[in-house]
C-alpha cells in the first residue's frame, strides 16, 4: 500500500511543478507501467530536480514500451562503472558524503541519488548549477521553550508509519498517531543529572557529556525529583512512538569508546541532537511486540543506539529492551513533556 | 515439558543421577519435543523454532593436523582441512544439522564454503569473537548465525555487556539463538536468572560428569524454555581411553595414552576386569557408543556436541542413535563399571587441561 501511495505521489505530484519536470514525470509515468519501484526511487531522489530522467540514462529506447514481450531492450543499460560515469556528470568531485568516485551502487541503489534516511552532511557544491534556485524563505524552526535549564522543542505531532521491516523486532510497520509534545533538544547531561541527583554515575566524566549507567528506575527517580523541584514541570520519558516520530531524519553520531558531548552533533529536522548514537535513551512503557503492544512485559524500552553499537543499529526504528534495574554504561535518557500538561 | 510438581527424587531418577541408577530410562514428562527423520533424531532447542540433530558436529579440530598461525590461533594443514571437510560433509549426509565452528581454529571460511548450497539445512553455531566486528564478519560469511554463544565463568559487568551485544544482534536479525557456555554450575543458575532472552546453554554432561545437584538447575532451565546442549559427552574424548577394546591410536587428541598399557594394568586389576567383563556382554557396541547413548537418552537435552576427527568416530556416534530410546541393562552395567574405573584413576584419565573437570563435575 505504501508503495502504491508513493507511486501515485510520483505520478500525480508534479501537477504544480515547472513544465520541464512535468514532462519528465509524463515520461516516467510511461516507464512506471512496468518499472514501478525504479520510478518511485527516482521520484524520491534529487534526480527529479536535477534534470536527470529515465531517457538521460537509458536513451529514448524507441519501441521498448510498445513491445509487450520485451524483445526490444532499452538503448542503454549502464552497469558497474558505467553508472559511476553517469553520476560523475553532475558529481564532479565524487560522492558528496564519501568522495568516492566509483562503485556508487555499493551505497545507493541504481535510481536513488540520495538515501533519504542518511542524506549527505555536506551539500554538494557541484550540483548547484543544475539545482533549482533555493526558496527565498527558510522553513520556520519549531518553537522551543526552556524549562529549568532544559531546552525543549515542540514536536508537532501527526501520523506516521512506525517500525521497519528491516529488523525482526520492529515488524510489522504500522501507522501511529502522535499528539504534539515537547522533547529535549539533547540527552540529559551529567551536569543536569548531578544537579538533581547529587551524584554522577558515569565512569567517563564531563559536565556536557550525556549521563550514562542509568537504569529505568534511576530515570524515574530523576524525573520524580526534577518534577518536585520544578513547579508544573511535567517532565517524563517519551513514549516509544513519540521518540520514533521525533527521530525522523536524524543522522547517526559516530561511535567509539566514549560518547560525544550533548548537542555537538548536527540537529535533525526538528532541531534534536544525537537522536541516533551516543547513548541509548529510555522510553516510557514496557517492551511489547508490535503492533498491538498488548500484554505485560518486565522489560523497559531503549531507543537510538549507543556509542558502542555498529552503524546499522543506529536506526530510528530499531528497538532494544533491558531490565528496569540494570545499569549499562551506554544507557541514558532524554526528557519529554506533554504540549498540554494537565 | 517438565511436570510442575516434580520432586527432587523423581527428577534425579529422570536425569539418571540418583545413586545406583546411572542410566535408568527417563520418564516421558521430562522430554523436549523431537522427531525422527531417516537415521537422525531432531529435538527442539528450548523455546526457539530451531530443531537440532541429536548428534552435532563439534568445533575442535584434530591436533595432529593443526599448525600455529598466530598467538592463540591455529589452522589446519591443507590435508587436514580436506579431511575435516570430508568428514563434515559425511556428517551432513547422515543428517547432522548443527556445525559448531571455532574462529580461533580458522574454521570460519572453510565452514562457509562447506555450507554453500545447503545453508538452509545447516545450523551454524559460533562462540568466539563476540565483538560487533566479529558478528558482522560471521554474518557476511554465513548470511546469519543460527547459534551464537560466549564462554564465561561469571555473570559480571563485562559478561552483561557481551550479552547485551548478542541480544542487539539477535534483535537486528543477525543471530537466531543466543546462549552461553560455562563449566560452572553457579554460573549456569545465575545465567538463568540474569540473562534476558537466554535461548540455550552449553554445559558439560556425560555419564561420569553429571552432577547430582543439577536438580535445581535443570528443571529451572526447562521451565524457562532454555535449550540444553551437552558438551563433552565423551569427556573431551577421554572415555575412549577407558575402553580396553579401543583400537590403538584411537585415543583422543593423539595422546596415545592407553590406560591399558602395561604400567597401568597392574594397579587396577579388579576394576579393569569388571569393566572388561561387562563390555564382553556388549559385543556390538563400544564404550563410547554406550556413553553417547546415555547422553542421547536424556530427554531434557537438545543435542550432544562432540568433536569427530575421523569417519569411524562419526559412524559410531551415528550408529549409537539407532537404539537411543532405551538403554539396556548391559549398557548401564558397563557405564557403572567404567565410572568406577575412572574414579580409581583419579583425574589422570582426562587430558591435563581438563583435569579440573573431575573435581567440579563428578556425579
The residue of chain A with its CA nearest to that of B168 is: A320
pLDDT tens figures, A275-284: 999 999 999 9
On the question of pLDDT at A73 being above 90, the answer is: no
Contact B172 A167 (CB under 8 A): yes
Q: What is the pLDDT of residues B233-274, one digit of tens each?
A: 998 888 888 887 775 544 444 443 445 555 555 556 788 788
Asked if residue A248 has pLDDT above 80, the reply is yes
Structural domain includes residue B16: no
User: Are A320 and B171 an interchain contact pair (Cβ–Cβ within 8 Å)?
Assistant: yes
Interface touch A328/B160, C-beta < 8 Å: yes
Is residue B251 a part of any domain in this protein?
Answer: no
**Chain B residue set in contact with A, beta carbons under 8 Å:** 132-133, 136, 160-161, 164-165, 167-168, 171-173, 196
Contact B160 A323 (CB under 8 A): no
pTM, two decimals, is 0.76
User: Quick check: is B324 in a domain?
Assistant: yes
| Partner-chain residue, chosen from A166, A313, A329, that has the shortest CB–CB distance to B168 | A313
Given a cut of 60, whether residue B349 has pLDDT beyond it is yes
**Does residue B5 fall inside a structural domain?**
no
Which among B133, B161, B171 has the least Cβ separation from residue A168? B171
ipTM attached to this prediction: 0.83
Residues of chain B contacting residue A323, judged by C-beta atoms under 8 Å apart: 196
Residues of A in contact with B164 (CB under 8 A): 322, 328
The model's pLDDT over B187-214, given as tens digits with 9 standing for 90+, comes to 999 999 999 999 999 999 999 888 655 7
Give residue A109's pLDDT. 67
The reply to whether residue A322 touches residue B164, judged by beta carbons under 8 angstroms, is: yes
The answer to the question of residue B31 being in a domain is no
Q: Which CATH number belongs to the domain containing residue B147 in this structure?
A: 3.20.20.100
pLDDT of residue A113: 60
**What pLDDT score was predicted for residue A126?**
47
Cell of B301: 537435552
The pLDDT tens digits of the residues spanning B320-346 come to 987 656 788 999 999 999 998 888 888
Quickly state the pLDDT bin for A131 (edges 50, 70, 90): very low
Residue B130 lies in a domain: yes
Range of the domain at B49: 38-235+257-362
Q: Is B160 in Cβ contact with A310 (below 8 Å)?
A: no
Nearest to A318 among B133, B160, B172 (CB): B172
Least confident stretch, A101-105, A329-333, B19-23, B301-305: B19-23
Nearest CA in chain A to B136: A310
Instruction: Provide the pLDDT confidence category of residue A67 given band limits of 50, 70 and 90.
Output: low
User: Which residue numbers of A have CB closer than 8 Å to B's CBs?
Assistant: 166-169, 299, 308-310, 312-313, 318-323, 326, 328-329
Q: Is the pLDDT of residue B20 over 70?
A: no
Domains in chain B, number:
1
Nearest to A310 among B132, B161, B171 (CB): B132
Query: Does a structural domain hold residue B110?
Result: yes
pLDDT of A88 reads 75
Selected residue with higher pLDDT from B140 and A294:
B140
Q: How many inter-chain contacts (A to B, CB under 8 Å) are there?
A: 36
Whether B336 maps to a domain, the answer reads: yes
The 3 state secondary structure assigned to chain A is CHHHHHHHHHHHHHHHCCHHHHHHHHHHHHHCCCCHHHHHHHHHCHHHHCCCCHHHHHCCCCCCCCCCCCCCCCCCCCCCHHHHHHHHCCCCCCCCCCCCCCCHHHCCCCCCCCCCCCCCCCCCHHHHHHCCCCCCCCCCCCCEEEECCEEEEEECCEEEEECCCCCHHHCCCEEEEECCEEEECCCCEHHHHHHHHCCCCCCCCCCCCECCCCCHHHHHHHHHHHHHHCCCCCEECCCHHHHHHHCCCCCECCCCCCCCCCCCCCCCCCCCCCCECCCEEEEEEECCCCCCCCCCCCCEEEECCCCCCCHHHCCCCCEEEECCCCCCCCEECCCEEECCCC
Asked whether residue B41 carries a pLDDT value surpassing 70, the answer given is: yes
CB-CB: which of A308, A319, A323 is closest to B171?
A319
- Beta carbons of B206 and B301 less than 8 angstroms apart: no
A168 interaction partners in chain B (CB closer than 8 Å): 171-173
Amino acid at each position: 500500500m505504501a508503495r502504491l501511495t508513493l507511486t501515485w505521489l510520483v505520478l500525480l505530484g508534479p501537477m504544480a511543478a515547472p513544465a520541464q519536470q512535468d514532462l519528465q514525470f509524463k515520461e516516467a509515468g510511461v516507464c512506471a507501467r512496468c518499472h514501478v519501484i525504479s520510478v518511485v526511487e527516482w521520484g524520491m531522489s534529487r534526480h527529479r530536480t536535477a534534470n536527470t530522467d529515465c531517457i538521460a540514462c537509458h536513451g529514448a529506447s524507441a519501441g521498448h514500451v510498445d513491445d509487450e514481450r520485451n524483445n526490444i531492450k532499452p538503448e542503454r543499460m549502464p552497469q558497474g562503472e558505467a553508472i559511476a560515469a553517469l553520476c560523475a556528470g553532475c558529481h564532479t568531485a565524487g560522492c558528496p558524503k564519501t568522495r568516492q568516485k566509483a562503485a556508487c551502487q555499493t551505497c545507493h541503489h541504481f535510481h536513488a541519488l540520495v538515501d533519504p534516511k542518511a542524506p549527505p552532511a555536506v551539500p554538494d557544491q557541484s550540483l548547484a548549477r543544475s539545482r533549482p534556485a533555493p526558496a527565498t524563505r527558510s522553513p520556520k524552526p519549531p518553537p522551543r521553550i526552556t524549562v529549568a535549564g532544559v531546552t525543549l522543542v515542540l514536536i508537532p505531532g501527526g501520523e506516521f508509519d512506525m517500525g521497519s521491516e528491516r529488523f525482526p523486532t520492529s515488524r510489522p510497520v504500522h501507522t501511529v498517531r502522535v499528539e504534539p509534545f515537547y522533547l529535549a533538544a539533547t540527552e540529559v547531561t551529567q551536569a543536569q543529572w548531578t544537579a538533581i541527583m547529587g551524584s554522577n554515575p558515569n565512569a567517563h566524566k564531563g559536565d556536557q557529556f550525556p549521563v550514562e549507567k542509568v537504569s529505568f528506575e534511576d530515570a524515574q527517580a530523576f524525573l520524580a525529583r526534577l518534577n518536585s523541584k520544578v513547579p508544573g514541570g511535567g517532565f517524563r520519558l517519551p513514549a516509544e512512538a513519540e521518540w520514533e516520530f521525533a527521530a525522523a531524519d536524524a543522522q547517526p553520531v559516530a561511535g567509539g569508546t566514549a560518547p560525544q558531548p550533548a548537542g555537538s552533533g548536527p540537529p535533525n529536522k526538528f532541531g534534536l541532537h544525537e537522536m541516533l548514537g551516543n547513548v541509548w535513551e529510555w522510553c516510557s512503557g514496557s517492551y511489547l511486540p508490535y503492533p498491538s503492544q498488548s500484554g505485560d512485559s518486565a522489560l523497559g524500552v531503549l531507543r537510538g543506539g549507543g556509542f558502542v553499537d555498529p552503524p546499522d543499529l543506529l536506526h530510528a526504528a530499531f528497538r532494544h529492551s533491558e531490565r528496569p534495574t540494570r545499569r549499562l554504561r551506554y544507557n541514558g535518557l532524554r526528557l519529554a513533556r506533554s504540549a498540554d500538561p494537565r | 515439558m517438565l511436570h510442575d510438581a516434580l520432586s527432587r527424587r523423581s527428577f534425579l531418577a529422570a536425569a539418571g543421577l540418583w545413586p545406583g541408577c546411572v542410566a535408568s530410562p527417563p520418564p516421558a514428562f521430562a522430554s523436549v519435543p523431537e522427531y525422527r527423520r531417516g537415521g537422525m533424531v531432531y529435538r527442539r532447542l528450548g523455546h526457539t523454532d530451531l530443531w537440532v540433530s541429536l548428534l552435532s558436529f563439534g568445533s575442535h579440530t584434530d591436533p595432529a593436523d593443526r599448525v600455529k598461525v598466530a598467538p592463540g590461533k591455529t589452522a589446519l594443514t591443507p590435508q587436514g582441512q580436506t579431511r575435516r571437510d570430508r568428514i563434515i560433509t559425511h556428517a551432513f549426509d547422515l543428517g547432522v544439522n548443527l556445525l559448531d565452528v571455532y574462529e580461533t581454529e580458522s574454521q570460519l571460511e572453510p565452514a562457509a564454503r562447506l555450507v554453500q548450497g545447503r545453508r538452509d539445512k545447516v545450523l551454524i553455531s559460533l562462540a568466539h569473537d563476540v565483538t560487533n566486528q566479529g558478528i558482522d564478519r560471521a554474518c557476511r560469511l554465513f548470511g546469519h548465525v543460527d547459534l551464537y554463544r560466549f564462554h564465561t565463568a561469571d555473570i559480571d559487568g563485562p559478561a552483561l555487556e557481551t550479552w547485551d551485544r548478542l541480544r542487539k544482534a539477535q534483535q537486528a536479525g543477525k543471530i537466531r539463538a543466543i546462549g552461553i557456555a560455562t563449566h560452572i554450575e553457579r554460573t549456569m543458575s545465575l545465567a538463568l536468572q540474569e540473562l534476558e532472552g537466554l535461548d540455550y546453554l552449553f554445559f558439560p554432561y556425560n555419564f561420569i560428569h553429571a552432577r547430582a545437584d543439577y536438580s535445581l538447575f535443570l528443571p529451572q532451565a526447562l521451565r524457562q524454555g532454555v535449550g540444553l546442549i551437552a558438551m563433552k559427552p565423551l569427556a573431551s574424548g577421554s572415555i575412549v581411553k577407558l575402553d580396553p577394546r579401543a583400537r590403538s591410536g584411537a585415543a583422543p587428541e593423539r595422546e596415545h595414552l592407553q590406560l591399558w598399557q602395561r604400567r597401568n594394568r597392574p594397579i587396577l586389576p579388579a576394576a579393569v576386569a569388571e569393566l572388561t567383563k561387562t563390555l564382553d556382554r556388549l559385543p556390538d557396541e563400544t564404550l563410547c557408543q554406550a556413553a553417547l547413548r546415555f547422553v542421547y537418552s536424556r530427554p531434557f537435552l537438545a543435542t550432544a556436541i562432540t568433536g569427530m576427527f575421523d569417519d569411524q568416530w562419526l559412524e559410531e556416534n551415528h550408529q549409537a542413535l539407532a537404539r537411543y530410546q532405551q538403554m539396556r541393562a548391559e549398557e548401564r552395567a558397563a557405564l557403572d563399571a567404567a565410572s568406577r574405573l575412572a574414579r580409581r584413576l583419579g583425574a589422570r584419565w582426562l587430558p591435563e587441561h581438563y583435569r579440573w573437570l573431575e573435581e567440579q563435575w563428578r556425579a
